[in-house]
Structure 1
């Protein structure tokens, strides 16, 4: 089983503008739609679209729980979110400009998580997770879910000997690296933050990370992505497509990658699957949708170069 953990989920309100966003004037929307927000839930959606069983877990506010679960069910995401009394799941506004002019996201702060509910999540994994499972921890942390809470979660999962994937940022990503999780996906800016020496390039940091983490996938902007796994480096170049909305593309990659990787641990197939699904996703308006049939066709356009990883 694959479990995804979204500690600070959101409901995305997608606002499609008629014209380019302008300050100090009324900007009219052509239409409004709703989508699920949060890296872990996007990962679960990608897995579900590919027919891979998974369960989305995390916390959700009681006040708008019905609305939150409605969006999850519309996306066919199997879920078990722990309810936080008197709190509300944050909502994000994603402003989408016409003719591929870009997107802007405005997001609310997260809720406060009581200690009893934090412990409930830890107890669930203690009872349910086995060494055969994959667990993805993704997205931001709630306001009072601190690094020590994250550490307890990761250490508990490591005790189960399951495969732990983390799509985190900032200090949370640094802590995940320190604890030696199995998978991370830093972007080109986070690579420099993760330098494991006082001096060195992002490329050097990537090589150092590969000594501690089983699988590292680093996004390098126009250079594509690079994966370090089992002593080899994989340069990945995604297909060129007509981009409509890139929000959630990285989350789609992670979900699709883990869905493929967990089947038989074929790294090349996983990289091609993740890249193709993300390429399909950016061609659509909402934050998570992609077409699996289209993604399968795009896989042949993913360029993969393999070489020995060196320090």
Structure 2
């Protein structure tokens, strides 16, 4: 990778055990499932695949175990052309996500971190050269907080922090995000974690995060699109109207697409518009990585009218 080019994703790598059912069970209830499929996943891996399929040069830093799930977890990354040389092969289990998808496309997820939990600052620093040379570094919340903070501190380029799930990353490191990418629930949690004002209004949460020192904030709102704010200005991007089949990994596709466009030098608002279209495309097909579009695929159009 040449200096100041490409994307480095530092994040989780999982195998997804996807179970489909008519609806999600209530507490204490048993429902009949229809199928189970084992697919590659993990937020870091998903974001790396999404960016690579859209034409970006991507390197992934993470870890898998020594079990049979490791090859599954790496399969689409390999075919998408992601550089996997920094991925550690450790003794023990690969990360697993147990995902239940209901007929309305909504999902529930239980994650067993496996090898992801063993990512230390030392293992991240072993790839310091790649991180420093990246135009964009992407991190999430599925690795230990100290490893995530180490990756942010090593970055010389732009840093995208998708704090999902919300973990207690060092505030000084976290504030290097440009942008911070969160959904509405995560945004409120980050704001509270950093001592900001409590609010249930999406715009107020985004403005509160900007007030704490973030250079830019992107809040994803599912089928309502996204909010994007930088330099004190807030814009709304509506989402295309599509029929959702499976929302698994749509947020990761959004982040990967955002990283790809920012790496290419596109302004944040335009990159968010593109990422919303990519996220809307993925929910129309089952699975996470298998649903991601390539640069040759036609994406659903944004609705006409006021937007970013």
Once the two structures are TM-superposed, the CA of residue 43 in structure 1 deviates from its matched residue by 1.1
Contact 1:272 1:299 in 2 (8 A): no
Deviations, residues 264-308 of structure 1 (Å, cap 9, x unaligned): 2322321121000000000001113133479644234376535xx
Q: Distance in 2 between matches of 1:226 and 1:197?
A: 22
Task: State the partner residue of 1:206.
Answer: 206
Query: Bigger CA drift: 73-82 or 284-293?
Result: 73-82
* Correspondence for 2:107 among 87, 103, 118: 103
CA contact (8 A) 1:276 1:295 kept: no
What is the deviation of 1:186? 1.7
Deviations 1:38-85 (A, max 9, x none): 112111111122111111221211234334333533555432353343
Q: Does 2:122 match 1:119?
A: yes
Instruction: Answer yes or no: is 1:36 the counterpart of 2:35.
Output: no
Q: How far apart are 1:92 and its partner, in Å?
A: 1.8
For normalisation by structure 2, the TM-score amounts to: 0.81
Please tell me whether residue 171 in structure 1 is matched to residue 167 in structure 2.
Answer: yes
Q: Which aligned pairs between 1:23-102 and structure 2 lie closer than 5 A?
A: 27-30=32-35, 32-64=36-68, 65-98=70-103, 100=104, 102=106
5+ unaligned residues in a row in structure 2: which ranges?
1-5
SS at match of 2:148: helix
Partner of 1:243: 244
Distance 1:14 1:81, change over 3 A: farther
Match of 1:186 among 182, 192, 195: 182
Structure 2 residue 132 is matched with structure 1 residue 137: no
Structure 1 residues 180-216: Cα deviation after superposition (integer angstroms, max 9, x where no partner): 2222112212222314556453534422422522221
Q: Could you tell me whether the CA contact under 8 Å between 1:42 and 1:251 is conserved in 2?
A: yes
SS in 1 for 2:287: coil
Q: For residue 154 of structure 1, what is the aligned residue in structure 2? A: 152
For 1:263-278, what aligned pairs fall within 5 Å after superposition? 263-278=264-279
**What is the alpha-carbon distance in structure 1 between the residues aligned to residue 140 and residue 111 of structure 2?**
17
How many residue pairs end up in the alignment?
Answer: 292
Deviates more, 1:172-181 or 1:266-275: 172-181
Aligned-residue CA RMSD in angstroms? 3.0
How far apart, in 1, do the equivalents of 2:246 and 2:258 lie? Answer: 20
Q: Structure 2 vs 1, CA of residues 152 and 129 (structure 1 numbering), >3 Å: closer, same or farther?
A: closer
2:10–2:148: 8 Å Cα contact kept in structure 1? no
Matched, 1:13 2:8: no
Equivalent residue for 1:299? Answer: 301
Give the TM-score taking structure 1 as reference length: 0.80
Distance 2:30 2:71 in 1: 35
Q: SS at 2:91's partner residue?
A: coil
User: SS at the partner of 1:233?
Assistant: strand
